Amino acid sequence: MSTKAKNHAGKRPAKLLSGGNPQIPKGDGDGPVQDWIAAAPDWKQAICARLDELIEQTVPNVTKAVKWNSPFYGGPGNGWFLAMHVHSRYVKVTFFFGRELKPMPPVDSTDPHARYYHVLEKPGIDERQFMDWVRQAAAIPGWDPGMKAGLKRSDPNPQVDWF
């Protein structure tokens, strides 16, 4: 994206924060997420675009938003199951309830529920494993940021027939 390009809302391009994560205004829907992806630097842009495609293939009715300068993915009424963040050497994918996935994503978190998957330029995305994690994560209740006092599920017994 050139420095003079406008995003989907006709606003100025994103600024990159330390580590290279795009600073994008919060917003609901695919538009802000695509703006965030377009603003990701270097090889990370292609990785983020492919992760987004794989999530859409795995969960066709996925809900998207940009919050706290990161794209979030979830299900209607089911909370958020995944977020992405760009770092200088990798793209971090957060599975909010990653400890429940089999096998667990490889990187531990200080959060007692979350696990991370760090995608490096090489070898890139393990697409089969990533899609399996997405499928599992989308089928369980996700994180609801409106709940206080730590990480809370959106509903202990959700209807997860949305994908």
Domain membership of residue 144 (yes or no) is no
Q: Is residue 7 included in any domain, yes or no?
A: no
Asked if residue 157 is part of any domain, the answer here is no
Q: What is the model's pTM? A: 0.82
Of 7 and 88, which is predicted with more confidence? 88
pLDDT over 90 for what percent of the chain? Answer: 72
Domain range spanning residue 51?
15-138
pLDDT tens sequence across 31-85: 999 999 999 999 999 999 999 999 999 999 999 999 999 999 998 778 999 999 9
Kindly report the number of other CB atoms within 10 A of residue 6's CB atom: 12
Report yes or no on 124 lying in a domain: yes
Query: CB of 98 within 8 A of CB of 116?
Result: yes
Q: Name the E strands within 48-98.
A: 63-67, 70-75, 79-86, 91-95
Residue 104 lies in a domain: yes
Q: Is residue 130 part of a domain?
A: yes
Whether 3 is in a domain gets the answer: no
Report, as an integer, the average pLDDT of 4-28. 73
- Tell me how far apart the alpha carbons of residues 163 and 149 are, in angstroms, rounded to a whole number: 29
In three-state secondary structure terms, 139 is coil
The CATH number of residue 45's host domain is: 3.90.1150.200
Q: For position 147, what pLDDT does the model report?
A: 58
**Domains held by the chain: number:** 1
- Over range 80-108, report the average pLDDT: 97
Nearest-5° Cα angle at 30, 26 to 34? 80
- Alpha-helix residue ranges (DSSP H) falling in 21-126: 30-39, 42-58
Question: 55 in helix, strand or coil?
Answer: helix
Write down the pLDDT at residue 152: 53
Average pLDDT of span 11-17: 74
- Does residue 53 belong to any structural domain of this protein? yes
